Amino acid sequence: MKMPHLQKQKVKRSGYIAVVVCLILLSIAQVYQLWQTSYSEGRLSRPTTQDPPRDTSANLLEPVSIYISMGASDEGRYGNVSRNVQYFSQLFSSSYSLLQVLLTQEDSALEEVKEEDLPWDKAVCVYRYAFSMDSRLVEAQLSTNLGKSFSFQEVWILPAITMAEEPYCYFLDWESGAYYRISGNVHRRQGTVQAFLEQFTGINELISKDYISSKRTLPNRFADNVFLKDKESKIVLYDVSLSEPFLTQDKVLDENAAQRYAMHFFQHPDMVRQTADENEILYADEKITLKIQSSGLVQYVETLTDGDRASVSLKDAYELACGFLREDIEADANRVFETYLCGYEEGDNPDSYSFYFNYRFNDIPFVMDSQRLQDWKMQAPVEIYVEGSKVRAYKRYIVKKEMTPYHMIELQTSYIQALDMFFESYPNWSDQRLTDFTPVYQQHGDQVSLIWMMEMNQQRYYGWSGQEAGS
């Protein structure tokens, strides 16, 4: 008599299993359909539980440029290790490892030295920065205490070329005339010392030494150290023009292009509200507000919860900023320029920082139109404000770069010629000394010119723009 009951029970269980299997398959199909829809519409969003994007490879001490020299055997000439070649990352990785060892040893010693005692005749790897750094950045990146506060614009790392030599590093503040040398017992880290030496000597043999140090060669002309290409060769680069990425050919705001770009900021695109007028579109959900203007200005603001107001170190804040910027650039179809850190500030609120990034192309800095910076209340093309564990605010000037590979532009004067012409044009400034001198891509409205930039007494001057190559 129990058999029918057991059989009936078995039939019910089989039916239940069949229903569950069907529901699972249906849910998988729905998720797949949702994923396909999100992907095809360019709005694949991050899960709500995922941490904010961070770039753990971001390094506060990564320089904007690296120069190397063998010192006396190179007759004081330097080679530029361009960021556009793989040598840069290799050299930075090995030299930074040695710098880390020197600065974190228990017996590391910091001493102030005089300018005349700087090792100009020694082999050296020079880190150059786009702004005046301070020792807090070093301490934050390396989790160490240097025992002294100071600023610097360059770091010199000296390899141990012979067994009798010890590696050293120098922090140089040309603006104040303060120079610091750091040494440490690195015998237990010979692998790090040797790895840097091998990278240094190998790359040194591959690059030409086209630069001189202004501080050593032209001390009466320069207050800060600038590396000058002293050969009389002309500088020939691609011609660049800019256009607004969110405008159609008829100069109308392209809502489709703006939406494709905007949705990567939101975790739930289907819940985003949108309002638009002739010149801007506003996207918003319960936490994020995003404004896209026809001019290319993007402004992002996120409302923080109590859980987002956690403490954050300067190093972690920088990684958050770089991760956010990297993710945004990857979503931007234009991807016009390389970015680099050009400044930072501690915020008014605890655990808050502002980071400023500039663009550059062909290793040439971009100088954004000053009127736009003033109108938009910006200090740089990219500004990121980190508070606690989140990017609280973000502003970026997005431009579409247009470049014809066969259309080149050239500067008709070399570094030395332009320098001479500058002082000939301004004879009353002959006793003044420059703090910077470099070619730049300068923006005027929608036009970009390849031009010389001179900096003196915290003022910038521009002149002698390039013209079409061969003209």
The answer to whether the Cα torsion of 100, 103, 107, 113 is positive or negative is positive
- Note the pLDDT of residue 10: 37
Candidate from 108-112, 128-132, 419-423 with smallest mean pLDDT: 419-423
- Model confidence pLDDT, tens digit, residues 7-32: 333 334 444 444 334 444 444 344 33
Residues 120-135: tens digit of each pLDDT = 999 999 999 999 999 9
SS3 331: helix
Residue of 288 and 245 predicted with greater confidence = 288
Compute the distance between CA of residue 362 and CA of residue 169 in angstroms, rounded to an integer: 29
Please compute the mean of the pLDDT values over residues 197-208 and round it to a whole number.
Answer: 94
pLDDT band of 225, cuts 50, 70, 90? very high
Residues in the chain: 471
Question: Cβ distance 267 to 468 under 8 Å?
Answer: no
| pLDDT at residue 444, as a whole number | 85
% of the chain residues with pLDDT over 90? 56
pLDDT given at position 50: 53
Share of the chain above pLDDT 70, in %: 82
Contacts 24+ apart (CB under 8 A), 286-292: 290/262, 290/265, 290/266, 292/246, 292/258, 292/261, 292/262
Is residue 224 within 8 Å of residue 153, measured between CB atoms?
yes
What confidence category does residue 323 fall into, taking pLDDT thresholds of 50, 70 and 90?
very high
Write out pLDDT tens, residues 240-275: 777 788 888 888 899 999 999 999 999 999 999 999
pLDDT at 37 over 70: no
Collapsing DSSP to helix, strand or coil, 158 comes out as: strand
Residue 65 has pLDDT above 50, yes or no: yes
Q: So what's the pLDDT on residue 335?
A: 62
Q: Which residue has the higher pLDDT, 332 or 114?
A: 114
Query: What does the pLDDT read at residue 71?
Result: 94
Q: How far apart are CA 123 and CA 72, in angstroms?
A: 8
* Half-sphere CA count of 310, side-chain side, radius 13 A: 9
Domain map of the chain by residue range? Answer: 65-229, 233-245+296-471
Q: What is the DSSP letter of 177?
A: T
pLDDT at 34: 36
Residue type for 296, please? G
- Note the pLDDT of residue 21: 41
Give the SS3 label for residue 249: coil
Q: Residues 318-333: what's their mean pLDDT?
A: 91
For the chain, what is the mean pLDDT?
84
- Smallest CA-to-CA distance from 210 within 456, 16, 414 is with 414
Residue ranges of alpha helices (H) inside 112-262 are 135-142, 190-204, 214-217, 255-262
